[in-house]
Structures are given as C-alpha cells and as structure tokens.
Chains A and B, each alone.
Chain A
C-alpha cells in the first residue's frame, strides 16, 4: 500500500544534485566558521600569542577604521593599478613575443635556451637590479609585475600557437591567404582559450610581482602596509592587508572568468 505518487526520475535526479550542492556549501561554511571561530577563541584565551597572530575581531576593526578614515583606499588604488597594469602588459608583451617567435622560427630556435633559463630563474631576485635601473618608484614595481609573468606567458602561448591544427591554416592558404591572414584568422582566435588560461595564471603572478616590488621600494600600497606592519610589529595590519589582497585577487580572477565565458563561448 504505497500512497506516494511514483516520482519522476529526472526530478529526483535534479533534486539529488541540488542536495549534494547544499552539502558542499554547508561544509564550506562550517570550515570557515570553525577556522575563524577557533582563531578568535584561541587569541582571546591566549592559547596563541595575540601580538603575533592577532585575531579576526581586531583585523575587522582595523579594516573598518582604515576604511572610515579613507587611508586604505589610496593603498588599494595604488596596488590595484600597479597589478592591473603589470598583469595586462605582462600578458600583452608575452603574447607579442610569442607572435614574434612564431613568425620567425629561426628566432624561436635561437631564443629557446634563453627563455628556458629566464623561466627557471626566480624573477623576484632581479628586483634590486630593476630598482637601480628604473629608480625606486612605481615603474620598477610595474616592471616587476610584468617580468614575473611575461616569460611563462610567451612559452605557453607559443606552444599553443604551434599546436593549432595545420588543416585550419591549410584552408586559409588554399584561398591564397598570407601569413598575416593565417595568424589573424586562425592562429590567434584558435589560441584564445590558451591566452585566457594564461591570463588566469598571470592574475596570481602579477600580485606576487607587485607585492614583492612594494616590499622593496614603495611608500604606498598593500605590500608597503605589510612590510610596515612587520617593521613596527603590528601583525593586525599585516593580516588585514593580506585579507584585502585575497579579496581583490579573487575579484580579479572572477573578472577574468567572466571574460573567458564571453570570449571563448564558441570554441569546441
């Protein structure tokens, strides 16, 4: 005697999927609350040194104060513009360099070992030289942001260029298309997915470059706040800056994701 109506299999499948998503979200929230709750508790109970590890409440209070007095926004503006410029130019120059060595295979063979060395080298180590060469100002910081992403972008995109199915190029050539037309009509659009994924990587890399750059020279910016907080032993300030960076980097990444959806909707 079953009074229940026979369930629609599709509806129950969808419901099951939804249930799973809810479980995932609940677990994520629990981890979040547990982490910050424990942190707060252990700081107030002095299980950890509040001077070193601060506490969520202190960080949020500081964040609020800095937002009210407006000082935070000039720091954010500075770092954000440096990162955005470094990130865009790094990707742009990397793509241009990849185009150049795609166009001249001789150049690709000549530059190969140099690119490998430059890629393997920790770029931040060049920081002091950059500062000497370009001066202790915003230019060096942006250069740092570019430098850290340009080589890997070149390598990834050049590999993508070479991976494009020859037959697409053959179609263009059979219509009498020039090398430039092959590049514009096939190579570049076919590699949009690769370019977008290097954009995603470069978001992270540019933040590293700019923050390290700010450690070394700046008088303003989130990297400066971190190094300043460290020097005056104000770890609440350090952690607050870190929190702001995390939020901003995530937003930037999400923007690239939106761009990705728009640009490569029709690929494959």
Chain B
C-alpha cells in the first residue's frame, strides 16, 4: 500500500458565468520518505492540489488516502507550510511554535521538549521570548518550519516556502529544510515554479500542464543528486543536464498552451 495515494482527483470551480476545470485526472502515489516536487507554470493548479492533499479543500472528484485512510479534513499527520511564514505577530516565537500542539491539545512535556529541541537544531533557541517582527525573513521561515514540525507530521506539504526570501537566504534554507526533513524521515511535497529548486531538493519531480491542470510528466532525480545537499547538487553536472531537459518540457507546455 502506498503511503499517499491520489486517485482521479478533479477540481472544478463554478461561478455564475462558467465552470472552470482547475485539475483533471490526477492519479499518483508517493512512497514513505520520498521528496516530491510539483513543478509547473502558474495557474496549473499545483497549489490547489496541495490544499486538497492537506484536507483544506475537498476535490470535486476523486480521493486522497494516507496509509489507506481517507483525507477529507486536515489530518494531524499532515503538516502544511505556506509561501510566507505567517507567524502570528501578537504571539511570541515560543507561543508561535507551540500553536499546533495547543490546537491539538498535545501540550505535553515531551512534545514541548521535542519542539524546543527542534528550535535548537535550527539554531534559533535564543529567540523564544521575542516577537516575530524582531526576526529576519529567513529566521521567520525557519521558525515556521519548526511550528509545522512540532506536531510531528509524517507528510509535509510545502507551498513555495522559499519564494518570499532573497536568493542567498533561500539557498541556505533549502539545505536546512532538506537535511532536517531527511534526518526526521519525513515525506514531503514541495510546490514550486523554480526548476532549480525542484531538482536540487527532490527525489522525483512531477510536471504539470495548464488549462486544466494535469500530470504532464514525471522525472526521477539521479541518485548522485539525491545524495547531495541542495547547494552541492546545484554545482553538479547532472543538475545542468536535468535543468535543460525540464526546461524543454516546460517550453513544450507553453507551446501547447499557445496553440
């Protein structure tokens, strides 16, 4: 049985004027511990699909199952991270990272200790009593990662979590997120429109076409790249080759759109 299984997912939006199909015939599975990227032009419905997997949105057709369990609403084993940190400005960093535990009534000494250990791991233990506005963008996104990991989800959904950061911070954070998730044996799905980020971080890349969003192609990242941290992977020759290949496929999608 697959860890995560998506079957015939379709999503249609209705307005008074028309029905718009955002997603169609999405079927695939993810193995435990895998890192998947959703790559595609904007408007291909990749973020919508992520919301469906998170249980935040119910699909018009199809089903999502996590270890055989139907996902119809947010599940404690699924963590979700947004484009920006969305730390609550009126809560201290400590209160922010404990939010998930508080909401799930899991504020036990062990969970709190685990969360504080995560803070130490990402090197922000000394910010606990501060408020988010005192932290830089990169630091805040790291805190947001801890907030997501605090409830110990098995599957992490990352909705362009690096898109609001400057390039240097983004590269550093890619390494941190990649190694943290690997170390804790998490399964992850990353939504991105950055080809390089997808190659550097994932084991498998799923390419989406637009109007309506469909699975276009799937790429396996080579073993050599997978073993490396994202920053090192970017220096490798396999990286450039793969970049070229995906680039051409994306051009193809654009061509099809224009026709």
Enumerate chain A interface residues (CB-CB to B < 8 A): 165, 167-168, 170-177, 181, 185-186, 189-190, 192, 264, 266-268
Contact = CB atoms under 8 A, between A and B. Distances in A.
A192 B103 contact: no
B56 A167 contact: no
A174 B159 CA distance: 13
A266 B90 contact: yes
Nearest to B51: A170
A268 B89 contact: yes
Nearest to A263: B90
Contacts of B84: 167
Contact of B82 (A170, A185, A268): A170
A196 to B, nearest CB: 13
B79 interface: yes
A173 B90 contact: no
Contacts of B75: 176
Given A177-B103, A185-B99, A267 B89 contact: yes
Per DSSP, chain B at the interface is loop
29 contacts: A167-B84, A170-B80, A171-B82, A171-B88, A173-B56, A173-B74, A174-B54, A174-B56, A174-B74, A174-B78, A174-B79, A174-B80, A175-B99, A175-B100, A175-B104, A176-B73, A176-B74, A176-B103, A176-B104, A185-B88, A185-B99, A185-B103, A186-B88, A189-B88, A192-B90, A266-B89, A266-B133, A267-B89, A267-B90
A189 B90 contact: yes
Contact of B86 (A171, A264, A268): A171
Contacts of A168: 86, 88
Contact of B74 (A175, A190, A266, A267): A175
B37 to A, nearest CB: 20
A264 B89 CA distance: 10
Contacts of A172: 99, 103
Interface string B76-117: 101110101010111000000001100110000000000000
Contacts of B99: 171-172, 175, 185
A167 B82 contact: yes
Nearest to B148: A174
A264 B82 CA distance: 25
Given A175-B103, A264-B90, 16 more contacts: A167-B86, A170-B82, A170-B86, A171-B86, A171-B99, A174-B80, A175-B99, A176-B73, A176-B75, A176-B104, A177-B103, A185-B99, A185-B103, A186-B88, A190-B90, A267-B89
B131 interface: yes
B243 to A, nearest CB: 31
